[in-house]
Amino acid sequence: MAESIFKIESNLKIYDLPDGKDRTKINVRYPLLPPYAYARIYWSDERKELLYSVEEPELKDSEKEILRLVMLALEEMINISLVKIEKANQILQYLEKNVQAILIELGTSVSRETYLKIMYYIFRNSVGLNKIEPLLNDYYIEDIECNGLQFPVYIVHRKYENLRTNVIFREIQELTDFVEKLAQKCGRYVSYAKPLLDGTLPDGSRVNATYTEDITTRGPTFTIRKFTKEPWTPIHLINFGTATAQTFAYLWLGIEHKFNFMVIGETASGKTTFLNSMLSFIPPDARVVSIEDTRELNLSHDNWMPTVTRSGFGIPNLAGKEYGEITLFDLLKESFRQAPDYVIVGEIRGNEAFVLFQGMASGHSSFGTFHAGSVVTLVRRLETPPINLSASLIESLDVVCVMTHIKGTTRNLRRMKELVEIKDVKGEEINSNTPIQWDPATDKITQKGEFYLFQKITSRTGIPNQELKKELELRTKLLQILADKKIQGFKEVNRVIQDYYSDRDKVLKEFGII
């Protein structure tokens, strides 16, 4: 067994699953970590619900004992969990050599089938994230939710919404060890003194977890918000029906001319995904600074400085700040000294809003996301404690994209509900224009009126309104052609946009528009 015989096949295919109109007829199976782990989604007559089952190789009692002994020996020799996942292939080879050496030392001879099963569980529990590793490899899973001991892990599935799984953490030590492992992978610290974890896994997935039973009475918990390995582009969202080519062409013009945008919506409405897709339209040479609590944004720009907050330690001072803590407010204040063309705040919640809107008012193009269901709610929350912005500062905001998430047994939609242009704000009175709206009855996003933003561009640059309308039409055609041809990869789309900035006519000719 000197040669390396264990490997996990790459699972890049996205399987076409049946819709959920008649859930009682659903019975599908597709690979997660082939050839070892598979997902099966089926209707349970007993529970009267759709269930998600992770199918993994079954171990006999003798195989479980061998696995336990090998894992104990491995823990003495190496610490795999500290190695980042990018080096997975090298880790597997190194791991396999050590496992083979341990089996020889134990004087244990195993069949090829047993050896491969044992290797799978060693890979899963050391390099991977234990029981949930197969779930992390399911393209269709958006969230993984563990509510404590003895309760099934739930997932949010792109096709079938909330599903109960057969994954259960039964031992308190197993679950606390797992939360510690999550913290380790995120480069964060969790303990009884500091039992809340907020971080980002190496693959970009966002983690929120609790460590002790006095915080969550069912025991430690975790929620993992998965992100696609490659960010979704405007073309993905056009094909998903989230927004139209015309909407993104409008955003492109607004971003190019350095206007200020906010993406708002309720939890899980797709705010960050929509914001990240918009950022593809930032000119390629622009200086960009992003500020986040946990790293979620992904740009293709070379002149981009991503920054994240840092938690502190020790007893908080009189201002409630721990020693060494770096907040969004701190990072944002510093960012304006770095001469950015564009500033992006992942999520606005507190006093950082004041600095951001001051930046908008002084000419720095700024973007961000905010938890609010409408523009009225947004303005009300910005004007009241703890943010307390003046109406004159809120007027610096030019465009608000309102996102919504429609969940049901037969459909799961994320849509840009409306695009609102802010004209002026007087107290709680908002003078606005809504040129683009989504009709939930027909699931169509259409233009309802003229674009007020074009007047602002004309007054700022002198470009005539008719010329802006023509440019909007050309960019709409280009984005629609990319969508029709399924040219939607992150690198491909960003290349087209960058080429458009450097040689517009060449790109328009390449796609047969002029």
Dig out the tokens for 289 from the structure: 């600074």
Q: How far apart are CA 186 and CA 178, in angstroms?
A: 12
Q: What percent of the chain has pLDDT over 90?
A: 70
pLDDT tens digits, one per residue of 356-400:
998 898 889 999 999 999 999 999 999 998 899 999 899 999 999
Q: How far apart are CA 464 and CA 491, in angstroms?
A: 33
Q: What pLDDT band is residue 85 in, cutting at 50, 70 and 90?
A: very low
| E strand or H helix that includes residue 325 | none
Q: How far apart are CA 163 and CA 219, in angstroms?
A: 21
pLDDT tens digits, one per residue of 152-187:
999 999 889 899 999 999 999 999 999 999 999 998
Q: What pLDDT band is residue 258 in, cutting at 50, 70 and 90?
A: very high
Q: What are phi and psi of 444, to 5 degrees?
A: -120, 140
Name the one residue in this structure whose structure tokens are 């200020």: 260
Dig out the tokens for 149 from the structure: 């001991």
Q: How far apart are CA 286 and CA 276, in angstroms?
A: 16
- Domains of the chain by start residue, with CATH: 23-225 (3.30.450.380), 234-510 (3.40.50.300)
pLDDT tens digits, one per residue of 463-490:
999 999 999 999 999 999 999 999 999 9
Query: Which pLDDT value is given to residue 78?
Result: 62
- In the chain the first and final C-alpha atoms are separated, in Å, by 63
pLDDT tens digits, one per residue of 206-217:
999 999 888 999
Collapsing DSSP to helix, strand or coil, 219 comes out as: coil
Structure letter (DSSP) for residue 123: I
Q: How far apart are CA 161 and CA 40, in angstroms?
A: 15
Query: Which pLDDT value is given to residue 82?
Result: 45
Asked whether 96 and 88 are in contact (CB, 8 A), the reply is no
The b/e string for 340-373 (b: 16+ C-beta within 10 A; e otherwise) is bbbbbbbbbeeebbbbbbbbbbeebbbbbbbbbe
Asked whether 53 and 39 are in contact (CB, 8 A), the reply is yes
Burial of 116 (0-12, 13-18, 19+ CB in 10 A): middle
Dig out the tokens for 212 from the structure: 């002790």
Q: Compute CA 151 distance to the chain's CA centroid, rounded to the nearest angstrom.
A: 26
Q: What are phi and psi of 274, to 5 degrees?
A: -65, -45
